[in-house]
Amino acid sequence: MSALILALIAGAVVGLALGALGGGGSVLAVPALIYLLGFTPAAATTAGLIIVTATSLTALYAHARTGNVRWKAGALFAAAGLLPAAAAGAAAARLPQPVLTAAFAAIAALAAVRMLRPNRTDTGPATGQARLARAAGTGAGLGALTGLLGVGGGFLAVPALVTVLAFEMQAAVGTSLLVISANSLASLATRGATTAGVDWAVIGPFTGAAILGAWDGKRLAAKVTGTLLQRTFAMVLLAVAAFMLIDALT
């Protein structure tokens, strides 16, 4: 199968996940770039950020049109992650490839676990000040994750927005896309030199398919239960995580 067809298929799946779930798709993008399209882990994380940024902005626009984005709270949440995203993005190129692969496998497994138990909440009642501190800490962690591994972190942002800021699910999904977009842009700003080696002949079609998939994902979310979507993607992520971990250790 040609690289172009593989890029189109993988991009469509990534966009579908981002549009429907507000996260998870970016965790599939990097493994697809490595194992299907021959990218190195470092190049894949940079390319993943490009794809995630473009796709998240598109999905954000779609959710904003239906009023599902809480701009003020989302901007504050994202602001806490901007500096960590930039710093982690600068450090990512210095990590050994097996370490980067193993770290990504761990994050993919964590994403799968969170999707398999989407309604679980570990936070109790909290004051406004405590919620603000939790939001800042979570936002900083998401920023570092985005910068280091080229993932948006929506699979962590959505439950955090639900449990920490008491958002309803639709608002959490829409607002998470604002957080993802901001963190991805901050990380890309520190990787400007590394984007020169990106294969745009592959990334262009991948990104285009992901953007179209995001629109389809938004429509799919209105027709299929969120639980079914999350469990399906979670099982895929578990398989990806296991494969990447084995690859990193051999």
**pLDDT tens digits for 120-151?**
544 444 556 666 777 788 888 888 887 787 77
pLDDT the model gives residue 121: 47
* Residues 27-37 pLDDT 10s: 788 888 888 88
Residue of 167, 193, 154 lying closest to 60 (CA atoms): 154
Report the pLDDT value the prediction gives residue 71, as an integer from 0 to 100. Answer: 92
Q: Is the separation of the CB atoms in 67 and 168 below 8 Å?
A: no
Q: Which amino acid is at 133?
A: A
- Dihedral sign for Cα 184, 187, 189, 192, please: negative
pLDDT digit string (tens) for 175-204? 888 888 888 888 787 766 555 567 888 889
- Average pLDDT over every residue of 168-176: 83
Distances (CA, A) of 231 to 169, 171, 180, 194: 16, 20, 22, 35
- CB count in 10 Å sphere of residue 95: 16
Which residues, 6+ apart, have CB-to-CB distance to 29 below 8 Å?
Answer: 10, 14, 47, 48, 51, 52, 150, 151, 206, 210
How many angstroms separate the CA atoms of 98 and 68, rounded? 39
Q: Give the separation between CA 196 and CA 12, rounded to whole angstroms.
A: 25
When the pLDDT of each residue in the chain is averaged and rounded to a whole number, the result is: 79
The CA distance from 64 to 83, in Å, is 25
How far separated are the first and last CA of the chain, in Å rounded? 26
| 217 touches 225 (CB < 8 A) | no
Report the candidate in 54, 9, 51 with the shortest Cα–Cα distance to residue 30. 51
